[in-house]
Structure formats: C-alpha cells, structure tokens
Structure 1
Amino acid sequence: MNRPNVTPASQDPALLRRLLRAKDRMDAASHEEWPVGRLAQVSGVSEAHFARSFKQAFGVPPHRYLLTRRIERAMALLRDTDQPITDIAFATGWSSLGTFGRTFRDVTGDSPSAVRARARAATHDLGRVPECIVNAAHRPDLKTAVSEKRRQSLDGTNETVQQEIS
C-alpha cells in the first residue's frame, strides 16, 4: 500500500540516521538478540515503521541483516581461529548448534566444518606458492604507490624520513 505523503527512509536523513544507529548496534553486538521491538526502541520509531523503513533503506529485513552478520562473523572465526565449532556457534549468537549448522548451510551452501577444512587446505596450498608471488599480492597497486610517493615528495615527508634513517 503506497501512501503519497510518506517519504521513503532513504530520502529522510533524520530517519536514516535513526536506522543507522540501530544497524550499528546490531553490527557491534550481532551475538545478542535483536527483536524488532528493541531495534525500534533504539531508533525511536514504532515497530511497524522500523521494520518497513529498514527494509526500504537497506534492502533486507532487520532479521535477515542480523542473520547475515552472524554468518559473516562465524565464517571469519572458522577461517581464522581454531575455536571449536560449538564455541563459534554460541559466540555468534546461536542458541543451538543444530540451528547454527542448518542455517549456516542454508545461507552458504556448505557446512561449518567444510568451510573450515577448505580454509585450512587453502592455507597449506600457500606453502607451494613462491614467496615473491605471495609478497606481490600484498603490495599496493602501482598507481597508488606512485601517487603516495609524489604526495610525500611534495609534502617533504619523504625527506624527513630519509634524514631520520641516516
């Protein structure tokens, strides 16, 4: 139902700031429960208005946004730590390992253990890559490096660094 006098959330700066406040809270504490009522309270609007405006502004309902943030965090922990999968499930806000595994698989197409195994295999494969190639992957692109060098030369920053080294 379209109401002609209602401004879309993306065009109302005050409402968008309120929605961003709630979104930032979810980002900072995605492991917590964030029912629409709590998010609406953070935003200072009604539950229905919050849910409608959030989806309009960000393209997904608040629940889906939170679910995505939890899955992203779980993927990072699976990839970058040796924490048990059960601990990761609870640390990212899931109350049950079964729900975590089922939802994770539905969203990513893989189980948490498969994601971890693939990340570990990729790490082992890096050992076969020549070091010069790995180092090159971490270098800034040439245009950025040249621009930074020119900026330092114009600012005199580079000369100061050279004097300190000598």
Structure 2
Amino acid sequence: MPVVGAAAEDANRRLLRARDAMDRAYAEPLDVPTLARIAHISEAHFICTFRAAFGETPNRYLQRRRVERAMFLLRSTDRSVTDICMDVGFSSLGTFSRVFRDVVGEPPSLYRRRGPMPLAPSCFAMAWSRPSSFGEVRGT
C-alpha cells in the first residue's frame, strides 16, 4: 500500500508543478505538450490526470486563470480591452471575449462599465471575484 501512496503523491506533485507554471506564466503561450513536459508525463496522461485532480482540463484552467487576471485589469486600469486581451495571453480578441463571457457571464466591456472594484479586504475581494469553475457564473 505505501507504494501506491508514494506513486500518487509523486503524480500529484507533477501535476502541481504544471499548474504552478500556469499560475506564474499564464500570459505565455503554454500548450499541453509544454505542460506535460513540465509534469514529466505523456500528453494524454497529463490531460486525463489533470482533469481528474482539478476538475477541468488544463486548457480550461489556463483560460480561467487568464480571465481572472483580465477581470482585475478591466476594473483597475483604463487600458483597452484589446491590450488587456493580449497582455493576459489571448491572441484573438474574439476568443478572449467569448471565453470571458463564458466564465464571467457578461462581455468584458460590460464588466468594465460596472466600475472599480469596491473597497474590501483584498483576500475577500479576490475570493469573491474569482470564477469558481469554468462556465459557472458568480453574481455580484
């Protein structure tokens, strides 16, 4: 039994290494082959085990992470939606807008119009504004 536990722990560490890379370098052009190399496992195995461990595919996790950053930039800067789209790692404004709407429930321009984030402890504001899962909209 300890061998299975050690193997599972090693697999989890590998997946966390790849997820940490996505959290740090979300704006970089990360793809499954690159992430699988970081985790030191095959691409197919990486996709299956990542989804089993975190409840979403690596691509959806990365998209959600990018949208989280865009949400902050839209409400705290006056930079254009296109600039923010490119800065968070999307290469197409259309794809960014579609994914943003899927995650947040409204397009980036409408989200921005609601104005700056209300004053609250940053830990609370971050927890409340973070999409809980891909495609699930949280209201404010």
Q: TM-score, normalised by structure 1?
A: 0.65
C-alpha separation in 1, matches of 2:107 and 2:43? 34
Match 1:63 to one of 42, 59, 63: 59
Following TM superposition, by how much is the alpha carbon of 1:119 offset from its aligned partner in structure 2, in angstroms? 2.4
Match 2:37 to one of 34, 41, 44: 41
How many residue pairs are counted as aligned between the two chains?
A: 117
- 1:83-162 matches, within 5 Å, as 83-120=79-116
C-alpha separation in 1, matches of 2:20 and 2:99? 23
Q: Structure 2: which 5+ residue stretches go unaligned?
A: 122-140
Following TM superposition, by how much is the alpha carbon of 1:104 offset from its aligned partner in structure 2, in angstroms? 1.1
C-alpha separation in 2, matches of 1:116 and 1:95? 20
Following TM superposition, by how much is the alpha carbon of 1:107 offset from its aligned partner in structure 2, in angstroms? 2.0
Partner of 1:19: 15
Alignment RMSD, CA only? 2.0
| Deviations, residues 18-73 of structure 1 (Å, cap 9, x unaligned) | 11000000000111122111111001111111111111111111011001101101
C-alpha separation in 2, matches of 1:79 and 1:91? 15
C-alpha separation in 1, matches of 2:95 and 2:57? 20
The runs of at least 4 consecutive aligned structure 1 residues that moved more than 3 Å come to: none
Match 1:50 to one of 46, 50, 58: 46
- Indicate the structure whose relative CO is greater, using CA pairs within 8 Å and at least 6 residues apart: 2
| Deviations, residues 87-126 of structure 1 (Å, cap 9, x unaligned) | 1000011111122112211221111111111124x66xxx
C-alpha separation in 2, matches of 1:56 and 1:111? 30
C-alpha separation in 1, matches of 2:42 and 2:101? 34
Following TM superposition, by how much is the alpha carbon of 1:12 offset from its aligned partner in structure 2, in angstroms? 0.6
Q: TM-score, normalised by structure 2?
A: 0.76
